[in-house]
């Protein structure tokens, strides 16, 4: 008889794991000593250590949120908060320990780097183990480093912006990340530079009962453009893991940033992430957020439109199957006149899964001529599944144009019958309908990622009907 872990791996093709080999592993549970040990191992300046310790105190004081997904299963005392897999990051894939290199080979990451990326960061456990950036971009002044290197090489920029968009006080998991952050990306794009080919960061958890807390800081200077993509996977274990990242983005005047996520964690991972952008005059922030995996996700990409004419486009997709709760959405804060935001949310629930759209649109006093539209579409594939919508709208200017539409639908028997009469199996017919449903999301992805998302959906749809 196969174990529960083996069965789950069969359904989730990234659920394999390597033998645990590390140079340092923190004991289970979070204490002040663990926070100090992380800072000490990284050789950080005193000011960053003080930020960590203050955030640790905030984390202890803040309660676990009870307004969203069920987080009662998160056991903070069972988590390893820091695991260092190697002594130093590799300058080439050959520099990495064989088992780590083999893992990323199986995930297809080096091949993706060769074919369609301008730069790549690969994080394994708590540390970025590999990083690359095209020489042509380096010559233009683009900086793409792991966050630890960013802190060492650009301490003034990090000190100015770290915690400026997502402070530790924001929520319990932002405080946790600030206390124990490790890895993640530091990006600076100079004025007017267009990074037309995407940069990618890939995050892999291998250790059982581990917490991964990467920190990402992106600064797009005036008139620049950047497309950043992140992906993630983890093994299936009987014990839960925790992923609590923080992403802060500064989009300066006239710049444009597109941030694409393909979240594909295994179904034993709590995925509790805070992502937020501060958008200047005539600048644009685009979030493309795809959520396929995890046991529980709570994630609401946000844009604060603080400059006149700033724009935000947020496209969100969530798919929840058996045992999954995906609580996703978007937040837009309009602080300035003539700002515009557009939110599209697509969710699919099947096999007893639960999805939620949770959104906030706020128009502050003085933000004249604001335009906003929100559209939420839910597709529910069976009677055991559930989808909810929780919009919150706060308008302080009477001339704001704000719209919210929501629909919920099921796959019709006539649709399935028609497609099956053309020779498709029932699951293939349902997958075809689902692909049509999320077409707006697929259209916004680079072709390689759209193909991969299609493949993930097909795997999820196996056994979802009937």
pLDDT in tens, 344-386: 999 999 999 999 999 999 999 999 999 999 999 999 988 899 9
Lowest-pLDDT choice from 13-22, 175-184, 353-362, 448-457: 13-22
For residue 392 the two structure tokens come to 């919150």
Residue-wise pLDDT tens digits, 15-69: 677 766 777 899 999 999 999 999 999 999 999 999 999 999 999 999 999 999 9
Mean pLDDT of 429-435: 84
- What is the model's pLDDT at position 136? 94
- What is the model's pLDDT at position 12? 64
- What is the model's pLDDT at position 465? 53
Q: Model's pTM, two decimal places?
A: 0.92
CA torsion through residues 429, 433, 435, 436, sign: positive
Rounded CA gap, 197 and 116, in Å?
7
- What is the model's pLDDT at position 7? 37
Closest CA to 57 of 169, 132, 167, 148: 169
Whether the per-residue pLDDT at 8 is higher than 60: the answer is: no
Give the whole-number percent of the chain exceeding pLDDT 90: 67
Whether the per-residue pLDDT at 255 is higher than 90: the answer is: yes
Lowest-pLDDT choice from 155-169, 425-439, 447-461: 447-461
Strand partners, 326: 297, 355
Identify whether the C-beta of residue 231 lies closer than 8 Å to the C-beta of residue 200: yes
- N-term to C-term CA, the chain: 25
CA neighbours closer than 13 Å in the CB half-sphere of residue 364: 13
Closest CA to 151 of 251, 59, 222, 49: 49
Say which residues have a Cβ less than 8 Å from residue 441's Cβ, sequence separation at least 6.
288, 290, 315, 317, 346, 453
Identify whether the C-beta of residue 62 lies closer than 8 Å to the C-beta of residue 172: yes
Residue-wise pLDDT tens digits, 81-114: 999 988 777 778 888 888 888 888 888 888 888 8
Which has more pLDDT, 448 or 9? Answer: 448
Say which residues have a Cβ less than 8 Å from residue 31's Cβ, sequence separation at least 6.
none
Residue-wise pLDDT tens digits, 260-273: 998 888 899 999 99
Q: How confident is the model at residue 197 (pLDDT cuts 50, 70, 90)?
A: very high
DSSP single-letter state for residue 210: B
Supply the mean pLDDT for the chain: 90
């Amino acid at each position: 008889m196969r174990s529960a872990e083996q069965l789950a791996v069969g359904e989730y093709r990234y659920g394999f794991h390597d033998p645990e080999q590390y140079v340092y592993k923190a004991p289970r549970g979070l204490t002040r000593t663990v926070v100090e040990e992380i800072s000490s191992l990284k050789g950080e300046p005193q000011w960053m250590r003080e930020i960590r310790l203050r955030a640790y105190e905030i984390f202890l004081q803040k309660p676990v949120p009870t307004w969203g997904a069920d987080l009662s299963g998160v056991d903070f005392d069972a988590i390893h908060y820091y695991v260092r897999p190697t002594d130093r990051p590799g300058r080439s894939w050959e520099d990495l320990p064989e088992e780590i290199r083999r893992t990323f080979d199986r995930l297809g990451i080096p091949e993706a780097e060769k074919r369609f990326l301008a730069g790549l960061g690969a994080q394994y456990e708590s540390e970025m183990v590999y990083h690359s950036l095209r020489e042509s971009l380096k010559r233009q002044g683009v900086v793409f480093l792991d966050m630890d290197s960013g802190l060492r090489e650009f301490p003034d920029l990090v000190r100015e912006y770290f915690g400026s968009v997502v402070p530790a006080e924001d929520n319990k998991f932002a405080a946790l990340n600030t206390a124990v952050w490790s890895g993640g990306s530091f990006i600076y794009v100079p004025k007017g530079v267009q990074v037309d080919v995407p940069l990618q960061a890939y995050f892999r958890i291998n250790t059982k009962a581990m917490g991964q807390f990467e920190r990402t800081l992106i600064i797009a200077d005036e008139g620049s453009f950047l497309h950043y993509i992140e992906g993630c996977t983890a093994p299936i274990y009987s014990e839960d893991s925790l992923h609590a990242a923080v992403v802060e983005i500064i989009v300066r005047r006239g710049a444009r940033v597109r941030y694409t996520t393909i979240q594909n964690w295994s179904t034993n991972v709590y995925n509790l992430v805070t992502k937020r952008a501060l958008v200047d005059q005539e600048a644009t922030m685009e979030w493309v957020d795809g959520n396929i995996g995890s046991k529980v996700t709570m994630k609401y990409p946000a844009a604060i439109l603080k400059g006149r004419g700033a724009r935000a486009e947020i496209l969100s997709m969530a798919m929840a199957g058996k045992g999954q709760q995906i609580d996703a959405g978007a937040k837009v804060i309009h602080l300035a006149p003539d700002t515009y935001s557009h939110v599209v949310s697509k969710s699919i629930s099947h096999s007893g899964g639960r999805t939620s759209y949770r959104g906030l649109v706020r128009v502050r006093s003085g933000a004249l001529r604001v335009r906003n539209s929100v559209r939420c579409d839910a597709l529910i594939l069976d009677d055991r599944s559930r989808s909810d919508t929780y919009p919150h709208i706060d308008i302080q200017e009477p001339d704001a144009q704000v719209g919210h539409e929501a629909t919920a639908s099921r796959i019709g028997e006539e649709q399935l019958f028609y497609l099956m009469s053309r020779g498709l199996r029932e699951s293939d017919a349902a997958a075809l309908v689902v692909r049509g449903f999320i077409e707006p999301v697929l259209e916004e992805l680079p072709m390689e990622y759209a193909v991969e998302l299609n493949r993930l959906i097909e795997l999820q749809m196996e056994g979802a009907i009937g």
